[in-house]
Amino acid sequence: MKLTPRLKALASLVPLNKAAADIGTDHGYLAAYLVRHNLCPYVIAGDKNEKPLGKARDSVRALKLEGKVLIRLGDGLEVIQESDQVKVIIIAGMGGKTICSILDDGWEKLKGVDILILQPMVDIWLVRRWIIERGFRIKEEKLAKEGDQIYEIIKAGPGEQGPLDDLQLELGPKLLEKRDPLIRPYLLRKLRKCKKVMESFKKSKQEIDPKKYNYWNRLTCKIEEELRCLQEK
Ligand SMILES: C[S@@+](CC[C@H](N)C(=O)[O-])C[C@H]1O[C@@H](n2cnc3c(N)ncnc32)[C@H](O)[C@@H]1O
């Protein structure tokens, strides 16, 4: 069973031998991979929509993993029972805002959870802010490239994280510190976006919010500085 680079990177962050829940499982590939490769004893594969769960059911049946991948219909963390003893929660492929509301709505279910693996498609800064404001800390961050896209993945666990400024919330403290192998193309992409925004400010006939201008300007300078440091190494 072959996973895409993004799903493989998610799997690589899952600690060994702990019960996991894959929330918004869709096709169920990740859940199936985790038990098939004996990384997890069992995985709760939850989704709030019946249609994707049907796909997950088919994958699990085809691989004869019933009993180890437990398919459950439900919104967010409501598919997790206390008796499941879930220690790892994976939420991937959704917007940062949705991920944060799933975590807030299911707050009670996070007691006893050791690891959160989160991969937002947009608004990663919201997810990092959620982590630090809710008594978690970022343990690891990873990038995965699939086609033209570079995806950001965060592994967090309970604990105290020192404060992060707005640029660290956007760029990822561990990604910068650990020099992820994809850091250069990742920063170049972010820089292209910054330049577009700065250009739109210049062209705009309306008054620009100085706070917004300041943020994008500082982000541009920070990325350029990080790229210079990478070149020097
Ligand atoms: C784009 S897919 C991502 C699938 C998979 N996690 C991945 O990363 O490849 C998003 C899935 O999340 C499900 N979903 C969205 N909001 C959800 C929620 N609040 N609770 C459970 N599932 C949700 C959708 O039904 C959909 O199947």
CATH of the domain at 21: 3.40.50.150
- DSSP assigned state of 40: S
Q: Do 136 and 228 belong together in one domain?
A: no
Mutate to test the pocket of ligand 1, among 10, 48, 58 (most ligand atoms within 8 A of CB): 48
Task: Decide whether any atom of ligand 1 lies within 6 Å of the 32 Cβ.
Answer: no
**Nearest partner of 118 among 100, 145, 105, 144, judged by Cα:** 100
- Answer yes or no: do 210 and 151 share one domain: no
Instruction: Tell me if 49 CB under 6 Å of ligand 1.
Output: yes
In the numeric block, which tokens belong to residue 36? 């098939």
User: Same domain, yes or no, for 154 and 205?
Assistant: no
Q: Compute CA distances 21 → 28, 84, 97, 213, whole Å.
A: 11, 9, 19, 40
Note if the pTM is more than 0.95.
Answer: yes
* Intervals of the chain under pLDDT 70: none
Structure confidence at residue 7 (pLDDT): 98
Distance (Å, whole) CA 206 – CA 192: 23
- Whether ligand 1 lies within 6 angstroms of the CB of 47 is answered as yes
The CA distance from 188 to 171, in Å, is 12
Best mutation site among 49, 71, 89, 105 for ligand 1, i.e. most ligand atoms within 8 A of its Cβ?
49
Q: Which SS3 state, helix, strand or coil, does residue 72 take?
A: strand
Domain carrying residue 226: 184-232
Nearest residue to 136 via CA among 151, 118, 152: 118
Closest atom of ligand 1 to 76 CA is 20
Q: The tokens 């850091």 sit on which residue?
A: 183
| Mutation choice for ligand 1 from 4, 23, 94, CB with most ligand atoms inside 8 A | 94
Tell me: do 140 and 201 sit in the same domain.
no
Same-domain check for residues 156 and 215: no
Mutate to test the pocket of ligand 1, among 13, 26, 78, 117 (most ligand atoms within 8 A of CB): 26
Domain count, the chain: 2
Tell me how far apart the alpha carbons of residues 120 and 91 are, in angstroms, rounded to a whole number: 8
- The response to whether residue 98 sits with its C-beta less than 6 Å from ligand 1 reads yes
Is any atom of ligand 1 closer than 6 Å to the C-beta of 92? yes
Within-domain flag for 166: no
Q: Is the CB of 157 under 6 A from ligand 1?
A: no
* Protein residue closest via CA to atom 7 of ligand 1: 93
98 and 138 share one domain: yes
pLDDT at 5: 97
**Of 160, 193, 221, which residue is a domain's last?**
160
DSSP 15: P
With tokens 């650990």, the residue in question is 178
**In the prediction, which pLDDT does 113 show?**
97
